[in-house]
Amino acid sequence: MTTGFTTGRALRPTTKVLPEHARGHNRALVLQTLYRSGQQSRADIARETGLTRVTVSDLVAELIADGLVIEVGQREDARPGKPATLLDLDRSAFHIIGIDLSEYDTFRGAVLDLDGRILHRAELPLASATGEDATALVIALVETLVGHATLPILGVGVGSPGVVDLAGVVLTAPNLGWANEDLQGTLNLRFGLPVVVANDANAAALAEHSFGGADSDMMLIKVGHGVGAALLLDGTPLYGSRFAAGEIGHVVVGTDGGAECVCGKRGCLETWLSTPRLRSALAAADAETNIQILREAGQRLGIALAPIVGALNLAEVVLSGPIALLDGPLAEATIETLRNRTMAEFHGDLTLRMTTLGEDIVMRGAAAMVLSAQLGVS
Ligand SMILES: [Zn+2]
């Protein structure tokens, strides 16, 4: 998938604009307009943003001086008079590095351009590394990608499994053996670049909402090394009281026990649904039993999701992970279970689908986080 970022929607702003932030806000508005709409004149930007032409000219001068905006020529215009000068975000000003730590056997990353196109890929086998060894692998992967960037790097975005706070500290990621791992701080110190670390499912949901056309009330389920989820309500990401919103992987599903989980409990959703658990269960069984295993996993997911769909009146559930495992008997059993367990008149039109962004979803979401943090565009 190398489609650009530019055809999508911006996330709804969640904070009020204070007067002292107005200039930065207006600057981001101008950048956002150019990022989404492409070449525009100063007058176009003023119309689009509601800012005065004087303010726009002033901000544009500053953005040109900062190397973020360029003049790209004159508009072909039949009308008499001086033709308008067109401006654009300088799309060749920076590269972005996007990193995906969600897969169980590989850390993946890419150099992306500002439009979200993947220019160079790299990956490192995880080889069961945990703790400091896993951190060293992330550093090695970023180092490789930094070496492949041919423009200044706007920032590094990382989608990590586990619970990640808003300062990019991985509070817990059992599968990688991380607890209070300051990944954002470590990478920032090591590379001297802006770094954004967020939960992998939250990064994926951002990519899906901005570029995949997802509904504004949706839940994204990320199946990989573990099972994570992210929630968007009214277009706004939900983080929860301790940043663990969407962490359904270690919720026990049912009262009938189940396999032992890495967290110490039995029958967590992850024990039914994570990629390594599913792969090993399928490898040990015949074809007919395989369908049963996939259906059982789908039913367990449906059981876990039904109260969430019911409580939040979600419109859409998006699945992200290995298509061969998820798309088929598993997804069918999930939607059947959801329909059986929720109210048809309010949840009957709920849709469940695979992401359209493929396996690059977390890397693209990670790059989108950098764009949002550094330029205020999304
Ligand atoms: Zn667990």
pLDDT by position in tens, the chain (length 378):
444 555 455 655 555 556 667 888 899 999 999 988 889 999 999 999 999 999 999 999 999 999 999 999 888 766 677 788 999 999 999 999 999 998 878 999 999 999 888 999 999 999 999 999 999 999 999 999 999 999 999 999 999 998 999 999 999 998 899 999 999 999 999 999 999 999 999 999 988 887 777 788 999 999 988 899 999 998 888 888 887 888 899 999 989 988 999 889 999 999 999 999 999 999 999 999 999 999 999 999 999 999 999 999 998 999 999 999 999 999 999 999 999 998 877 777 889 999 988 889 999 999 989 998 998 887
Distance 181 CA to ligand 1 centre (A): 20
Distance 367 CA to ligand 1 centre (A): 29
Distance 244 CA to ligand 1 centre (A): 14
SS3 state of residue 41:
strand
Distance 190 CA to ligand 1 centre (A): 33
Residues found in the chain: 378
Distance 35 CA to ligand 1 centre (A): 42
Instruction: List, as own/partner pairs, every contact residues 80-85 make where C-beta atoms lie below 8 angstroms and the sequence separation is at least 24, other chains included.
Output: 84/41, 84/42, 84/43, 84/44, 85/41, 85/42
Distance 139 CA to ligand 1 centre (A): 28
Return the C-alpha torsion angle 42, 46, 49, 51, nearest 10.
120
Distance 108 CA to ligand 1 centre (A): 25
Distance 260 CA to ligand 1 centre (A): 8
Distance 321 CA to ligand 1 centre (A): 19
Distance 122 CA to ligand 1 centre (A): 30
Distance 269 CA to ligand 1 centre (A): 7
**H/E run at residue 70:** strand 69-74
Cα dist. 337→302, 306, 330, 331 in Å?
5, 8, 11, 10
Selection from 202, 280, 208, 287 nearest residue 245 by Cα:
202
Q: What pLDDT was estimated at residue 11?
A: 58
